[in-house]
Structure 1
Amino acid sequence: MPTWVVATLFAGLFQTWRTALQQKLRGQLSVNAAAVVRYLYGVPVGALFVVLYLSLIGGSLSSPSWLYLFYCVLGGLGQIIGTNLLIMSFGHRGFAVGTAYSKTEAVQAAFIALIFLGESFSPLAWLGIAVSVTGTLYLSLAGRVASLREVAAATVQPAAILGLSAGLAFALCALAIREATQTLDGPDPTLRALETLVVINMLQTVMQGGWLVARERSSIPALFRTWRSSAQVGALSACGSACWFTGFAYAPVALVRAVGQVEILFTLLFSRFFLHERMRRSDIIGALTVVAGVVLVLLGR
């Protein structure tokens, strides 16, 4: 199995696990504070990954350029905005639904890459992307709308707008991260991905940490008071991001994100057993649709 596929599958698992824990923190921290813990506590974990990789696999660190740092800033900022929008969407329609709306990121990334980066995909891959996104939308809307008019109305509800906006931010973030990893001069794509993880997490800690200092200073003590839970979120975030970044280093963003739609399967499991939300028959149908889309993407690769 290709490296990028394995990395993407693990990325989906780690991200869902982290998001579920982060949802639990939402009652203890503000939206911005709950988001910043993933970067603050993720930096040392990411640095540990780099050290272990160099010790076990070998290699040398790359020489970053200003263009590389520019892409890192764009990627880090996009992830901050997307994360905040996703957390905000949870309050409107639930953990599983908010995440599902954000999964339109795959098709958004495909069109952005096609228009601005000239990336092309086979017809089967395009079909797979469309099918997987259809599955996530079905998960969001099944049982809630009965006509196309209601579907149109649902897309302008707060959860839909926040989820779709989060998807766009994540798509732009992923494309910037891929460009960053391609800009580094190192020969090892995996090591370039891990280096980029550390740099972006450091930048994100400065950017969103600076916002907390300027606008939500009262939230800062809670970052350290909840260190047990926050450290887990940061560690899982670093694991997930390391896998995502590795996937981006080896394959086009749209394909990585399309395969990453399997995250919705993990989301449903966490929704049911961790957050104790009910699963319906439509959840199973939607999940199977997502899986079918992923299979088509892999066949069309």
Structure 2
Amino acid sequence: MELWVVITIASAFLQNMRSVFQKHLKGQMGTTAATFVRFGFGVPFAILYLAILHLGLGHPLPVPNGAFFAWGVIGGLAQIGATFLLVHLFSFRNFAVGTAYSRTEPMQAALIAYLFLGERLNANDLVALCLSMAGVMLISVARTDISPRSLLESTFSRTARIGLLSGLLFGLSAVAYSSASGSLAAGLPARDAAMQAGFTLVYVILLQTAVMLGWLAWREPGEIRRIRSAWRVSLATGFVGATASFGWFTAMTLQQAALVRSLAQIEMVFTFASTALVFKERVNRLEVVGCALIVSGILLLFLL
């Protein structure tokens, strides 16, 4: 099994843990604060990771260029928006469905990469992505009477629009991070996916923390007190979030963003387990079928 595949599956598991913690925090603080926690409390872990690479293992630091800074800003701001919308979505639908809407990300990431970066996907890749997307859409109507009308209404409902926009922004951030990390290769003596990923993560997470902390201090100062009172869960959220990001950035340095994010659909398996075991929310038969379609798409992607 290729290294990027192992890294992506581990990152999907950690990302699901992060979402579990954020849903828990949503009951103690506002959406903006719960979004900030994912970035702000991940800063020390990101810096520690980069320090170990550079000072402990002797990896040279890359020399960033203009493309790196530009793609980092685009990816960082897009991820803030995507995470905010995902946390907000938890207020409307259960954990599994809320996460499922944002899983449209691989298709949207592939479209963005195709339109702006010239990346190409073969016919098997497209079939696999469409199969996974069909699973996501089935999940979205699993609690309604399935008909052309219900499918249309679910696709254009308020919750669907929020979820689809979240997926679009996650897709944009994935492509931007892949481009930012890849641009650092020219500043290194040899290809170093770990350093490229770690350096990109530190830059982006510092940017995100500064932007969100400034917003909270300006518009929602009371939320800062709530964040401090929930520091234990916040710290755990920051740790798993930063660790997942290490994985995403490394995987997207090794492989196309669209393929990494399509394999990341396996997160839905972890999501359903969390829905049933952690939040005690009911999962019906159609939601299980939708999850199976998503996993089938992933298997098709790698077996053909």
Structure-1-length-normalised TM-score? 0.96
Q: Does 1:297 align with 2:301?
A: yes
Deviates more, 1:20-29 or 1:291-300: 291-300
Contact 1:136 1:264 in 2 (8 A): no
Aligned AA for 1:282? L
For 1:115, the equivalent position in structure 2 comes to 115
Counterpart of 1:90?
90
1:266 aligns with 2:255: no
- Find the aligned partners of 1:28 and 1:4 in 2 and give their Cα distance: 36
Q: Which moved more, 1:115-124 or 1:142-151?
A: 142-151
Residue of structure 2 equivalent to 1:191: 195
The 2-side partners of 1:66 and 1:44 are apart by 25
What pairs up with 1:128-167 in 2 under 5 angstroms? Answer: 128-167=128-167
SS of the residue aligned with 2:156?
coil
Aligned alpha-carbon RMSD (Å)? 1.3
Q: In the alignment, which of 289, 292, 302 is matched to residue 288 of structure 1?
A: 292
Q: Distance in 1 between matches of 2:108 and 2:300?
A: 18
Look up the equivalent residue of 1:145 and give its one-letter code. Answer: D
Name the amino acid aligned to 1:266.
Answer: F
Which blocks of at least 5 consecutive residues in structure 1 are unaligned?
Answer: none
> How far is the alpha carbon of 1:55 from its aligned partner?
5.5
Task: Determine helix, strand or coil for the equivalent of 1:93.
Answer: coil
- For the pair 1:223 / 2:223, whether they are aligned, the reply is no
1:233-279 CA distances to partner (integer Å, 9 max, x unpaired)? 00010011111111111111111111000000000001111111112
- In structure 2, what is the Cα distance between the partners aligned to 1:143 and 1:98? 13
**Equivalent in 235, 238, 252 of residue 234 of structure 1:** 238
Tell me what 1:70 maps to: 70
Deviation at 1:104, TM superposition (A): 0.6
Give the C-alpha shift of residue 122 in structure 1.
1.4
- How far off is 1:56 after superposition? 5.9
Counterpart residue type for residue 235 of structure 1: F
Tell me the equivalent position of 1:99. 99
Post-superposition CA distance 1:75-112 (Å, at most 9, x none)? 11000000011111111111111110111111111111
Find the counterpart in structure 2 of residue 214 from structure 1: 218
Output the CA distance in 2 between the equivalents of 1:278 and 1:150.
21
Residue-by-residue CA offset, 1:123-145 (whole Å, 9 max, x unaligned): 11111111112112212212413
The one-letter code sitting in structure 1 at the alignment partner of 2:247 is C
Distance 1:56 1:5, change over 3 A: farther
Q: Distance in 1 between matches of 2:219 and 2:64?
A: 32
**Between the two proteins, what is the percent identity of the paired residues?**
36
Residue 57 of structure 1 and its aligned partner are, at CA, apart by 4.5
Provide the C-alpha distance between the structure 1 equivalents of 2:14 and 2:50, rounded to a whole number of angstroms.
Answer: 18
Alignment pair present for 1:246 and 2:253: no
- The 8 Å contact of residues 41 and 230 in structure 1, kept in 2 or not, is answered as yes
Which one is further off, 208-217 or 60-69?
A: 60-69
C-alpha deviations, 1:43-86, integer Å up to 9, x for none?
11111122233466431111112321111111110000000111
Matched residues, number: 300
Give the letter for the 1:7 counterpart: I
Q: CA contact under 8 A between 1:125 and 1:299: conserved in structure 2?
A: no
C-alpha contact 1:145 1:151 (8 A) present in aligned 2: no
Structure 1 CA distance, aligned partners of 2:240 and 2:222?
A: 26
Where do 5+ consecutive residues of structure 2 fail to align?
none
Question: Does structure 1 residue 179 correspond to structure 2 residue 150?
Answer: no
User: How many angstroms apart in 2 are the aligned matches of 1:277 and 1:56?
Assistant: 45
- Tell whether the 8 Å contact from 2:22 to 2:34 is kept in structure 1 after alignment: yes
User: What amino acid sits opposite 1:12 in the alignment?
Assistant: A
User: CA separation in 1, counterparts of 2:5 and 2:145?
Assistant: 34
After the TM superposition, which segments of 4 or more aligned residues of structure 1 sit over 6 Å from their partners?
A: none
